[in-house]
Chain A
Amino acid sequence: MNDCRMHWISMRMLVAVAVVSGLLCGMSGIAQQPSNRRTASVHAAIPQMPRFRFQNFTTENGLPDNHVYAVLVDGDRIWAGTDNGLGLYEHGKWKVFTTKDGLAHRAVLSLAVDKRTGDVWAGTMGGLSRISAGRIDSYTQLNSGLSNNIVYGVAVEGENVWVATAAGACRLNLRTGAWSLYNERNTPMREIWVYGVSAQADKVYFAVWGSGLLELTQQSDRWDMYDDPDHETELVLFRNQGLIHDVVSSVSYVDGTVWAATYFGDSRYDGRYWRNFLTKDSGLPSNFTNYVKGVDANHAWFCTDKGLAYYDGVNWAVYTPSIPTGRPEMWVRDSRGRVTQIPVTTAPANNYILGIDFQGDDIWVATAKGLSHGIRQQSIHSKPLPKEPLK
């Protein structure tokens, strides 16, 4: 038991070091480049994948900090959770909320909007904050029932705010003010480092670092846990038979399908079948995925340490500045595994991607060195992005 715990702690430290070094420096390692690359001019019948012109925001044009952990689109308002405050981009200007305004902590790790009320919830390194028409109310482990101050993930569904923290998950009932805590004492959670949460009316999913994916069926209050069937941290012995790895960093539940990101590959689960994604047989630029956001059951975006990837159910596209040179790059991988480079002039601000949200056909991307607005250039992707993306 102790050995096992030590193993996990070592793993956490390793990954934590990787995350921090990635954040601070941008990833400068050697990307795993597909071997069968081609250029757009050589071959025809390249999958029509979305193209963007990226407009990048940094501290030079008002962003509170270049380390952007999370981004949230709420209509015309763009919220950026950074290492030094919460930024709101509206009417072409940035407004910054800090601890002086009541924010629980300067480092904002996660964001969610209550679509009904317009209130924004911010998970920080020092608690959970609600921003409501400019007023900030903060909940901490000392002044409220919040399980832990380090809030990695937050989601709003109906009357409930679901929170992923470094010491389990919890739920705040907005009607009664009651907090419910979920941890190793009342769920199958083996580890309590909860990295992400995605909630819909029927189910809530939690991404648990080292304990796989937890599923709560709301009507029955039943908990299920999905973990790596081979329980191997380094190997994938049972391909497409379960979660790719137990170290789950993010989850997105949409259209009855779960997209799960880990630091060792990604997975999709439709309630019956699993599908695993690794760099060696998909268009993922890296197996180290910080964040995943599903568009629907077949389309999803993956935020990795080596660029932003889009999967349309068949083909892949990757958007990143070149890791060695910094030049903007876009790669498309088709269903046969052929990789084509698309000539582009812009790319996300950094290859280390931490979050994404949608604004119509546009995307907003949180990176380790700035916030990027991907302005859609042409509608040539196989499936249009939804106007009102599901959260």
Chain B
Amino acid sequence: MNQRVVNRGWRWAGSIAVGVTVMMLVALLPKTTMAAYNAGELLNYASPVEMLYSPDGARLYVLASQSNEVRILNATNFTPIGTVVVGHVPRGFALSADGSRLYVANSWDDTVSVINTRSLSVVATWHAGMEPQSVLADPAGKYVFVANRISSDVAVLDARTGMELKRLVAGRGASYMAMSPDGKRIYVTHVYPNPGPERTPPESEITVIDVARVQVVDRIPLPSVAGVFHVTVSSDGRLMVAAELHPKNLVPLAHLEHGGAFVDTLTLFGSDVGAKPVEIPLDEIEHYAARPFGVAITSDKSRMFVSCGGSEEVLVIDLPRLLHFIHTHRGPFAENLGASANYVIAHIPVGHDPRGVAITPDARRLLVANRLDDRISVIDTHSSRVLTTIPLSGSEQLWSLQFSDRIFSAVNDQPNGKRQCSQCHIDEQHRNAFTMDFSTRKRIQALRRGEQIFYTSRYSFQGQLACANCHFDSTFDGLEWDLEPDGFGRNIVDNRLLEDLRDTAPYKWNGGNPDIPTECGPRTEKYFWRSEIYDDTKLADLVGYILSLPARPNRWRLASGALTPAQERGKAIFTRTRDSFGYPIPQANRCNYCHSGPMGTDQKSFDVGTRRATDDTGRFDTPQLTNIALTAPYLHDGSARSLEEIWTLYNPQDKHGRTNDLTKDQLNDLVEYLRTR
């Protein structure tokens, strides 16, 4: 008994110590960092994500996602040849068959930049879908295919005019594409799981497009997979490989020591594999291949290379041994931590958040784009050693494109009549001063360090996962998670978006974390990492980075900032004070009471009647409404699979706002308005 009292005393003391530490951390946050996240993300790094060789092998094109450029290097000695500025946050690019055009998918502009590779200039800018991630040109020169993450489709453009011909339905969060060597098939991956029943394993697919028919002809199922990145095709077209995550979101994430969070896997399919795709793990006990992203296969199919963003390495796989393994062993293999020893023959450490990989035309070298180092690792494919690392010149030049006139044209209405950037909320007249104020290298480096911490898995138990495992590209993953060690299936929570988090505290669905340092510090260390804790500087950098993340452009708002008639009607419902029968709606039962202010939250917790038997509480933090259209499912546990279901299924008592008087037309209008938030 006395021992219990002593323990309780220590526990209290520990809690107080943690609280004091957190308060100190908040106070210690560098002012520059605080100001930087107030400003939104400053773009001063190149952040290379993809690379391409010209058809003659003389040039290397590097896609710089943060400086919004294509860098052109001499492929032999990596000296700069030129730079072409493209649209905002380019994420993918591809050459035309003859190499005369380079197409760049600009994810924040919803456009494709067309670069003349001879003049190194942008000769056209075409419209694509919502948030284009990658682009491919067909060998016949008729079509350009663009995978769009938000609209979850592939836009087919006329390669001559850029006119959109059609949209093909892909998986949710369509992202990366690869074409078969004969040009007949395109394989498309997607990063968010396809919509499915609640609390069931996630489902993804490889969408297969017939290039001649320009139609989707197959969807290869990827069971239990969510988060599929690059896919590649062997030179003979007999083997396709996709890099992916196999989350274990149905069991408590706290069971990290039991290998409980993710399996990092590849799915192999094609005639080399057989009739059914095979999922193989990359992880080993004590050594996880966190967040596999890029894949490349040598032309002789002797080796396969996989970049792993979290574990900051490249895996070398002996492909004949891998194929032998899957043909001689009975699956499933995905969760067998002993499997990878049969085919992973080397781990090559590289830089921070390695992304795209490219094999040189002579197959002697492998290039790896280290996004958060602004460097390219050059690896000898024979010895599996890093030969050199190429810095991208001018990578620390300050880019303030975010504050350009174009961005300021997307303005919010301000009471004082001033124009304000809708993304970073900086007054137009102050932008120059602001940019100057934060143009020191030191301040920017803090954000970069924070981003590196966000993307690395080195802090978690056995290096299993990073923040970015669930927050792809600093966003979300479309999954519901069982986070706490409170029993299986208890307190399920939906993953929330990390955009524009200012003025949205507290955090967690139960509002238990008063600020980001608490959310990312002790809580993450205890429940997620179960391993090394951040020191004060690291935590400050991480928090600074997270709070610097701006909201993506909202795709449902008109360019003019005006609302459509349906959105206007929806806004009227959102702000109404009387119901359809003329009765007053109690203040606390109006939409804009809890979802108030510019972020759509009053930062308080309420019981809106959504508690389930497995929840410890019925009071949940009012979530902000930032880009809410993107983040299905909804409610604290993801039980509402669409915005509509929040009210058609989960608001029978009108506790989540007075809505049961609404007609279907009115509910649709309300949803249309919410999509503009």
Contacts and interface: CB of A to CB of B under 8 A. Distances in A.
A joins B in a complex: yes
Interface of A: 116-119, 130, 132-135, 137, 141-145, 147-148, 159, 167, 174-181, 183, 185-186
Interface centre among A119, A141, A177 (most CB of B within 10 A): A177
A117 B566 contact: no
B113 to A, nearest CB: 21
26 contacts: A116-B165, A117-B167, A117-B215, A118-B217, A130-B169, A132-B169, A132-B216, A133-B218, A135-B219, A142-B644, A142-B645, A143-B648, A144-B644, A145-B664, A145-B668, A147-B664, A148-B664, A167-B664, A175-B151, A175-B167, A178-B672, A179-B668, A180-B566, A181-B665, A181-B668, A185-B665
A9 to B, nearest CB: 21
Contact of B217 (A130, A133, A186): A133
B433 interface: no
B195 A176 contact: no
Nearest to A181: B665
A165 to B, nearest CB: 10
A194 B230 CA distance: 46
B641 interface: yes
Contacts of A133: 207-208, 215-219
Contacts of A183: 665
B649 A142 contact: yes
Interface of B: 129, 151, 165-169, 194-195, 205, 207-208, 213, 215-219, 556, 566, 641-642, 644-645, 648-649, 663-665, 667-668, 671-672
A129 to B, nearest CB: 13
Contacts of A180: 566, 668
A368 B664 CA distance: 34
A178 B215 contact: no
Given A130-B169, A133-B208, A135-B205, A118 B216 contact: yes
Sorted nearest first, the 3 A-B pairs with minimum C-beta distance are A118-B215, A142-B648, A133-B216
B644 A145 contact: yes
A42 B169 CA distance: 59
Contacts, number: 73
Contacts of A143: 641-642, 644-645, 648
Contacts of B556: 176
Nearest to B629: A177
A215 to B, nearest CB: 21
Nearest to A119: B169
Contact of B664 (A118, A132, A141): A141
Nearest to A183: B665
Contacts of A148: 664
Contact of A117 (B216, B642, B663): B216
B218 A145 contact: no
A213 to B, nearest CB: 22
A88 to B, nearest CB: 14
B218 A134 contact: yes
Contact of B219 (A134, A144, A178, A179): A134
Is chain B's interface secondary structure helix, strand, loop, or mixed overall?
A: mixed
B214 to A, nearest CB: 8
Contacts of B129: 175
Interface centre among B556, B641, B668, B671 (most CB of A within 10 A): B668
A141 B166 CA distance: 27
A216 B213 CA distance: 32
A117 B644 contact: no
A186 B565 CA distance: 13
Contacts of A142: 644-645, 648-649
Contacts of A135: 169, 194, 205, 219
A134 B667 CA distance: 31
Nearest to A130: B169
Contacts of B644: 142-145
Contacts of B648: 141-143
A131 to B, nearest CB: 10
Contacts of B216: 117-119, 132-133
Nearest to A134: B219
Given A130-B169, A143-B642, A175-B167, A181 B218 contact: no
A140 B641 CA distance: 12
A167 B168 CA distance: 30
Contacts of A181: 664-665, 668
Contacts of A137: 169, 195
Interface centre among B151, B207, B664, B672 (most CB of A within 10 A): B664
Nearest to A186: B665
B634 to A, nearest CB: 11
Contacts of B194: 135
Contacts of B195: 137
A148 B663 CA distance: 12
A174 B667 CA distance: 19
B177 to A, nearest CB: 16
B36 to A, nearest CB: 34
Contacts of B642: 143-144
A141 B168 CA distance: 24
Interface centre among B215, B217, B219 (most CB of A within 10 A): B215
A167 B663 CA distance: 11
A117 B668 contact: no
A116 B156 CA distance: 11
A174 B167 contact: yes
Nearest to B196: A102
A216 B138 CA distance: 39
B166 A117 contact: yes
A147 B216 CA distance: 28
Given A143-B645, A144-B644, A145-B671, A116 B166 contact: yes
A93 B211 CA distance: 26
Given A117-B215, A133-B207, A137-B195, 4 more contacts: A132-B219, A141-B648, A175-B129, A178-B566
A134 B220 CA distance: 10
A220 to B, nearest CB: 16
Contacts of B672: 178
Nearest to B155: A175
Nearest to A174: B167
A116 to B, nearest CB: 4
Interface centre among A133, A135, A167, A174 (most CB of B within 10 A): A133
Contacts of A178: 566, 672
Contacts of A132: 169, 216, 219
Nearest to A116: B166
Nearest to A147: B664
Nearest to B168: A117
A175 B166 CA distance: 10
A114 to B, nearest CB: 9
A117 B665 contact: no
Nearest to A182: B665
B275 to A, nearest CB: 15
A119 B166 CA distance: 12
B312 to A, nearest CB: 35
A82 to B, nearest CB: 24
A214 B566 CA distance: 22
Contacts of A119: 169, 216
Contacts of A185: 663, 665
A137 B152 CA distance: 13
A54 to B, nearest CB: 31
Contacts of A130: 169
Nearest to B641: A143
A103 B478 CA distance: 23
